[in-house]
Every structure is written in C-alpha cells, then in structure tokens.
C-alpha cells in the first residue's frame, strides 16, 4: 500500500530499479518551464536515473513521464490558497531518502536557483553524507519572452534585467518601488498574478508613465500558453475582463512593445498597448 506522510505520498519502489548509491545522491534539478524538450541533457539524465523524485506543482506531465518504472514519487507542490507541505518537511524528506542511499531527484519548475528555496534544501542536506548537486534549468522568464518572440534585454530598450518575487508585496511589506521604476530595465515578477493591481499602482506612483508596457504570460512554453498585453494603467481592468490561470509571469518594460514588431510573436489575447 502507498505510504502517506502529511500530504506527501509515493508509489512502490524497488521494481526494476538500479542498486542504491551507498551514500545517496540528491540532484536539485531545474525542470524548466514545463515542456519536456526544454530540459537540459543533464536534467534528462538525472531524471532517467532517479529512484525517488520529489516534485513541485509546476513540473509538467511530459517531464514526469520520463521517470523510470518503479521510481518513488513524492508530490510536495505549493499553490496559493491550498494546503502545501512545509519546507522543513520537504528538507527532512530529502535527507531521509538520501540516508537510504537512493538516487534522489528534487524536481523544481524553472531554475532551482531562482525563487526555488534551494538554499533551504541545501542546508537540510548539509548534515547527510549524500552527494548533492544543483542542475540548472531554463527559468520561466526566459521561456516566456522567447515564446512571445521578444528578448528580455535589448540595446535600445533595456540594458538591465531584474527578477522580483511578488510575494514581497504580501509577506515583507512594501517593495522599493522607486528602485524598481526604471525605464532602462526589464522587470519580471514571479508569483504575482494576485498582485497585478498593487504592482501597477506602485510603479506608477514611483514615476513610470501610465502607458508603460506590461505583459502577463501564463503557462509559458506549453500548448495552453496565454498572454495579455497592456499598460500599467489598464492592465488590472484587462485582467479582470480576461482572467489568466496561474502560473503567470509579469513582464514590465519597453521590450514588451516589441511584441508588435517581432515576426516570431504568436497571436495572443488583447494585445494593444495604448
């Protein structure tokens, strides 16, 4: 019978799997934005070798399909408004699997080093004798703008790039909007779908113009990808009229205006930038 541990469950192990590593190995693997063909070769190798996988909500089904038969599966996904496994429990799970001498893959959406709590998991594994490695992945921001046929940086538009967690809006008070409101950089907000109005208000209040371009991209790189293009002034209303599902990235900057000139840009939801 499958074992269940506070929202973490796994299917049977040991069916046709290779011999366990004497000291265990934990690979913190970036699964990319969701499409299996955007995995790195190293990530694909580690997935094919896995005896146990601990995976997040944003790991795509196509990626999970690459796991070998008999691989233990532990789902520890986090979603806004839903129960999630505490981070300390995830770290303890990784340490326990490593202590059992297994080849463990911790699968994270995007890149594990970009808002992936990889530091906390490295700390949890520090006391084990396991081999630990980080396997980088394609972060969602790169995949999202590439899917729209535009760059994150451009000599004429943005000479700087900043990744920001929108969780700051909720958990740690008010972001430094004045530092973020620059015309020479691209901002990408992660985990910010519920904070669109606050982001627009903060950046406008710090000096960016009402017509400053903004784009929301949902399910980047996947067949169900959707996008919404507008401005700081009208994006909250646009989003209310045409809601997007999570996960969703928020891109702010003049590079967004390039969606109207790029021959690679796909058809998206309302695209006018007034």
What is the percentage of the chain residues whose pLDDT exceeds 90?
69
Lowest mean pLDDT among 13-27, 31-45, 111-125, 250-264: 13-27
**pLDDT band at residue 156, thresholds of 50, 70 and 90?**
very high
Residues with catalytic function: 56, 78
The count of residues in the chain is 274
Helices 87-99 & 118-125, crossing angle to 10 degrees?
A: 40
| In the predicted structure, residue 15 carries a pLDDT above the cut 50 | no
**pLDDT band at residue 12, thresholds of 50, 70 and 90?**
very low
| In the predicted structure, residue 25 carries a pLDDT above the cut 70 | yes
DSSP secondary structure of the chain: --EEETTEEE----SSPPPPPSS-EEEEEE-BTS-GGGS-HHHHHHHHH-SEEEE-TTS-HHHHTTSPTT-EEEE----TTS----HHHHHHHHHHHHHTT-EEEEEESB-TTSSS-HHHHHHHHTTS-SEEEEE----HHHHHHHHTT--S-BTTTBSEEEEEETTHHHHSS---HHHH--SSEEEEEES-GGGHHHHHHHHHHTT--TT-EEEEEESTTSTT-EEEEEETTTHHHHHHHS--PSSEEEEESGGGGGGGT-TTPPP-SS----
Going by C-alpha positions, the residue among 93, 66, 90 that lies closest to residue 78 is 90
Task: Report pLDDT for 220.
Answer: 87
Q: CB of 93 within 8 A of CB of 76? A: yes
Task: Report pLDDT for 181.
Answer: 96
Report the C-alpha gap between 90 and 85 in whole angstroms: 7
Task: Report pLDDT for 174.
Answer: 78
| In the predicted structure, residue 3 carries a pLDDT above the cut 50 | no
**pLDDT band at residue 65, thresholds of 50, 70 and 90?**
very high
Number of neighbours of residue 58 by Cβ within 10 angstroms: 21
User: Taking the model in full, what pTM does it have?
Assistant: 0.83
Task: Report pLDDT for 223.
Answer: 87
To 10 degrees, the CA torsion angle through 137, 138, 140, 146?
Answer: -170
| In the predicted structure, residue 261 carries a pLDDT above the cut 70 | no
Task: Report pLDDT for 19.
Answer: 47
Task: Report pLDDT for 191.
Answer: 87
**pLDDT band at residue 227, thresholds of 50, 70 and 90?**
very high
Full set of structural domains in the chain with CATH: 3-135 (3.40.1010.10), 140-260 (3.30.950.10)
């Amino acid at each position: 019978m499958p074992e269940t541990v506070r929202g973490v469950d796994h299917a049977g192990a040991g069916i046709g799997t290779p011999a366990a590593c004497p000291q265990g190995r934990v690979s913190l693997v970036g699964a990319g934005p969701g499409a299996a063909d955007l995995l790195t070769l190293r990530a694909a190798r580690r997935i094919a070798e896995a005896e146990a996988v601990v995976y997040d909500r944003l790991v795509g089904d196509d990626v999970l399909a690459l796991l070998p038969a008999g691989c233990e599966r532990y789902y520890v996904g986090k979603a806004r408004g839903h129960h999630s496994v505490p981070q300390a429990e995830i770290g303890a799970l990784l340490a326990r699997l490593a202590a059992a001498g297994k080849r463990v893959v911790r699968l994270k959406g995007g890149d594990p080093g970009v808002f992936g709590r990889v530091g906390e998991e490295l700390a949890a594994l520090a006391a084990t004798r396991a081999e630990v490695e980080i396997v980088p992945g394609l972060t969602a921001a790169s995949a999202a703008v590439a899917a729209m046929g535009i760059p994150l940086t451009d000599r004429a538009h943005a000479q700087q790039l900043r990744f920001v967690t929108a969780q700051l809006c909720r958990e740690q008070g008010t972001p430094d909007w004045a530092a973020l409101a620059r015309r020479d950089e691209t901002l990408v907000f992660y985990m910010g779908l519920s904070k669109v109005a606050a982001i627009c208000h903060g950046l406008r209040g710090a000096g960016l113009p009402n017509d400053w371009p903004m784009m929301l991209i949902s399910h980047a790189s996947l067949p169900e990808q959707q996008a919404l293009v507008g401005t700081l002034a009208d994006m909250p209303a646009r989003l209310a009229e045409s809601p997007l599902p999570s996960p969703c990235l928020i891109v702010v900057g003049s590079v967004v205006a390039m969606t109207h000139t790029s021959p690679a840009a796909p058809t998206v939801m309302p695209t006018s930038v007034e």
